[in-house]
Structure 1
Amino acid sequence: MTGPIAEAEYALMWQAFNLMLLVVVPVILLTLFFAWRYRAAGGKGAYRPDWDRSPIIEVTVWGIPIVMIGILATWVWDKTHALDPYKPLPGSEPLRIEAIALDWKWLFIYPDLNIATVNELAFPVGKPLSFRITSEVAMNSFMIPALGGQIYAMAGMETQLNLQADEIGTMQGRNMQFSGDGFAGQTFEALSMSQDDFDAWLSNVRQSNSHLDTASYADISKPSTDAPVRYFSTVPPDFFSKRVAHFMGMEHEHNPNVKAADQ
């Protein structure tokens, strides 16, 4: 696990698990004890056919689980809202990244850096990451397990996710929602780098002769499995927003030239 979101989610799962054990373990032990004490052959438990209830047992059996569920529900509710994926992380200005799910690959756009990549995501260690996520195809689910939980990517809709890596290394990201023949290979490398290494990576991407435009996007949008890493040295303005608007019949609002051409 690396990063504040992953660590917080990991701690929450174990804390909730341990809290539930306070109920589960005594129930299991008492079940085994009763089975042994009141067994038909040699059990020492008293046989009381007319006994029907005990206030102490009723309070114990119902009261403790109710209290535990109340504590657990309040606690998880608070932690869940604290880990809202839309909530920005504290620290420096985040690195903005726009992710588009395709068949069967991921396109990553860095709007502030004017570059894009396919199936490779790089970022400086310790830098907050602010994702905008959508899909050009069927529903997908974006996840980098080492950094935090998954969030859905849907055509014509935008979801958001905020993550951060606190260690340098290579992590795997993938689509967690089954999406057809190439689902198993729809993975990408998430590279957490030092600032110097990220600057060198950025310089390498900017040296690419490929540019993200209508033609290149149509090419990478074609279904393919185990797609190779590709770099695009330039990206049209508001490319991500226009792809989202494309499914909502709002292209004219984002591109006045389209309306003029239609007229």
Structure 2
Amino acid sequence: MLVKHFCRLLLLPVVLMLGGCKLVLLNPDGYVARQQSDIMISTTIIIALIVVPVLIAIAVIAWRYRASNTQAKYDDKWDHSHQLELLVWGVPLLIIIAVGAVSWTGTHQLDPYRPLDKIAEHKPVPANTKPLEVEVVSLRWKWLFFYPGYGIATVNELVAPVDVPIHFKLTSDTMMDSFFIPALVGQVYTMPGMQTVLHGVINKPGEYKGFSANYSGAGFTDMRFLFHGMSQKDFNSWVEKVGASGQALDRTAYDKLRQPSRAEPIHYYAHFSPDLYERILNRCVDPGQMCMSPIMTDTMHSRGMESAPAHGAAMH
């Protein structure tokens, strides 16, 4: 009885810590995140098939062949067993093959650059569905979201309609961050002068947390934002509300926004300079700066290499 009460006492801190937690990584509301969760759970179960029996065997062998157990059979001439050798090497090999197959398949199916072909299990993307385009810029220490299809922008608030694929393009102003919405999709890095891509979809209306998962300085802990999944009607109303905010995000406003700040409140921009994201990506927001695309194009041509057309030019 005393041992039972002691065990309960040891488990009490764990229960208290997990009691108020929603284990979003194990039960996300986004289709891509749910597939990633399934892979994580499946891999853990497969690994447990070898780990748990080994732990049990250690305890059983230690108890059975303890010094005080004089009844245990001991064979001082035993040195090899083909059956045991097959078990020791064969089972872990099968486990490695199974984990590798699950990981390899999942890695290719959930490639962040791969457009979605389903919005839910057994529910393909409807024909002629246009993904919601969102351009993401990580700043110190806040998140800027452009909606090029609607001409609006927001800070520290991301909104998307339910069951509509989202196509993210991501970059950074000055430092490397990691864009992460656990309920929606896995994390992806943002880097200055580079663009990463991410595809996701949210399947339930709700308010979800997003943040930077990569340490980026003193304001890192405040680099958080809200992600809202809404019905199409509510999303359209939200777009109208942002469009009526009356603020403009031009180069001057962006220069002010890009200054380091902590716990930046949510605010909206009714419109923005059409090429602002491209200039942030190509590091030519400030007047007189040469964009990286022409520079890279000239470098590649000078080396006899072909390249894609350049994006942007110097801002005057």
Could you say which TM-score interval applies, normalised by the shorter chain? over 0.9
Could you list the per-position Cα deviations for residues 33-58 of structure 1 after superposition, in whole angstroms to 9, with x for gaps in the alignment?
Answer: 11122111124332223322111111
Of the three residues 93, 99, 103, the one matched with 1:72 is 99
In structure 1, distance between residues paired with 2:312 and 2:291: 12
SS at structure 2 position matched to 1:17: helix
In the TM superposition, residue 237 of structure 1 has moved relative to its aligned partner by 2.0
In the TM superposition, residue 129 of structure 1 has moved relative to its aligned partner by 0.4
Verify: 1:36 aligned to 2:63, yes or no: yes
| Match runs of 1:238-257 below 5 Å | 238-246=275-283, 249-250=291-292, 253-256=310-313
SS at structure 2 position matched to 1:29: helix
- Structure of higher RCO (CA pairs closer than 8 Å, 6+ residues apart): 1
In structure 2, distance between residues paired with 1:9 and 1:110: 27
In structure 2, distance between residues paired with 1:65 and 1:251: 50
| Match runs of 1:128-139 below 5 Å | 128-139=165-176
Q: Which residue of 2 aligns with 1:113?
A: 150
The answer as to whether partners of 1:86 and 1:161 remain within 8 angstroms in 2 is yes
Q: Which residue of 2 aligns with 1:4?
A: 31
What TM-score comes out, normalization by structure 1 length? 0.94
The answer as to whether partners of 2:39 and 2:102 remain within 8 angstroms in 1 is no
Q: Which residue of 1 aligns with 2:116?
A: 89
Deviates more, 1:239-248 or 1:120-129: 239-248
| Match runs of 1:144-159 below 5 Å | 144-159=181-196
In structure 1, distance between residues paired with 2:70 and 2:96: 34
Amino acid corresponding to residue 50 of structure 1 in structure 2: K
Aligned CA RMSD, in angstroms, stands at 1.6
In the TM superposition, residue 251 of structure 1 has moved relative to its aligned partner by 6.1
In structure 2, distance between residues paired with 1:98 and 1:164: 15
Q: Which residue of 2 aligns with 1:124?
A: 161
The answer as to whether partners of 1:37 and 1:44 remain within 8 angstroms in 2 is no
In the TM superposition, residue 238 of structure 1 has moved relative to its aligned partner by 2.8
SS at structure 2 position matched to 1:254: coil
In the TM superposition, residue 202 of structure 1 has moved relative to its aligned partner by 0.5
In structure 1, distance between residues paired with 2:105 and 2:273: 41
Amino acid corresponding to residue 226 of structure 1 in structure 2: A
Verify: 1:46 aligned to 2:108, yes or no: no
How many residue pairs were aligned? 259
SS at structure 2 position matched to 1:96: strand
Alignment identity in percent?
38
Q: 1:234 to 1:198 in 2, by over 3 A?
A: same
Q: Which residue of 2 aligns with 1:17?
A: 44
4+ residue runs of structure 1 moved beyond 4 angstroms? none
In the TM superposition, residue 246 of structure 1 has moved relative to its aligned partner by 1.3
In the TM superposition, residue 257 of structure 1 has moved relative to its aligned partner by 6.3
In the TM superposition, residue 255 of structure 1 has moved relative to its aligned partner by 3.6
Q: Which runs of 5+ in 1 are unaligned?
A: none
Amino acid corresponding to residue 250 of structure 1 in structure 2: M
Q: 1:249 to 1:55 in 2, by over 3 A?
A: same
In structure 2, distance between residues paired with 1:226 and 1:257: 33
SS at structure 1 position matched to 2:229: strand
The answer as to whether partners of 1:37 and 1:43 remain within 8 angstroms in 2 is no
In the TM superposition, residue 169 of structure 1 has moved relative to its aligned partner by 0.6
SS at structure 1 position matched to 2:186: coil
Q: Which runs of 5+ in 2 are unaligned?
A: 1-27, 118-124, 285-289, 295-309
SS at structure 2 position matched to 1:134: strand
Q: 1:256 to 1:183 in 2, by over 3 A?
A: closer
Could you list the per-position Cα deviations for residues 159-214 of structure 1 after superposition, in whole angstroms to 9, with x for gaps in the alignment?
Answer: 11111110001111111111111111111110111111111110111112211111
Q: Which residue of 1 aligns with 2:303?
A: none
Could you list the per-position Cα deviations for residues 56-106 of structure 1 after superposition, in whole angstroms to 9, with x for gaps in the alignment?
Answer: 111111111011101110121111111111111122210000000000000
In structure 1, distance between residues paired with 2:204 and 2:143: 23
The answer as to whether partners of 1:172 and 1:188 remain within 8 angstroms in 2 is yes
Amino acid corresponding to residue 86 of structure 1 in structure 2: Y
Amino acid corresponding to residue 166 of structure 2 in structure 1: L
